[in-house]
Amino acid sequence: MTRLMGRFLAAALLALAFALPAAAQPKSDPQNTLLLDTPYGRVVILLRPDLAPKHAERLKTLTREGFYNNVPFHRVIDGFMAQTGDGQYGNGTGGSKYPNLPAEFSSTPFKRGVVGMARSSSPNSANSQFFIMLDETPSLNGQYTVVGEVISGMEFVDKIKKGSSAANGVVPSPDRIVKMQVAADAK
């Protein structure tokens, strides 16, 4: 009987060990999930309205307006981040028709897959541009708004054309967002 109990306990612990990583994964919420199609495949972003409600709402609004479709990844720095979201000019100098947003900084670290809002030197200047972290960069922590996290498709983000360090990551002939949708609206 003791041997049987030992096997049962070992099996239960093994099952629990495999279940924990799945439980630690963010849960899907179609109203707060963006589907970003690149030329290489789909990137799924879970927005974090718990951290940045105004920024998450802005991304959803612009996505629903088709603002991000065909917008370039204008600045991509290997080992750092891929930036996009300038639907006005496509070069990192534009925004949207909406006013800039006040900062919603948090203690969430800028690690691989985190989505942050781009801004100028003013903390309250984020508008439409965002970036996806290619690697951990602690110097951004508490300095930029974390708005979401890639939950699948980082392998496609890794394939986006990179700019040169001499050009501060600006990409000539950049890859573009093919289409971006809120998952709840996906067709």
Helix residue spans in the chain (DSSP H): 2-24, 53-64, 154-157
Q: What is the pLDDT of residues 96-107, one digit of tens each?
A: 999 999 999 999
**pLDDT tier at 23 (50, 70, 90 boundaries)?**
very low
**Range of weakest confidence among 15-19, 79-83, 182-186:** 15-19
Using the predicted structure, report yes or no on whether residue 72 has a pLDDT greater than 50.
yes
* Residues 128, 85 contacting (CB under 8 angstroms): yes
Q: Which of 126, 50, 143, 49 is nearest to 83 (CA)?
A: 126
- Residue 166 pLDDT class (50, 70, 90 cuts): confident
Percent of the residues in the chain that have a pLDDT greater than 70, as a whole number:
86
Other beta carbons within 10 angstroms of residue 156's beta carbon come to 18
Give residue 187's pLDDT.
82
The structural domains of the chain, ordered by start, are 29-185 (2.40.100.10)
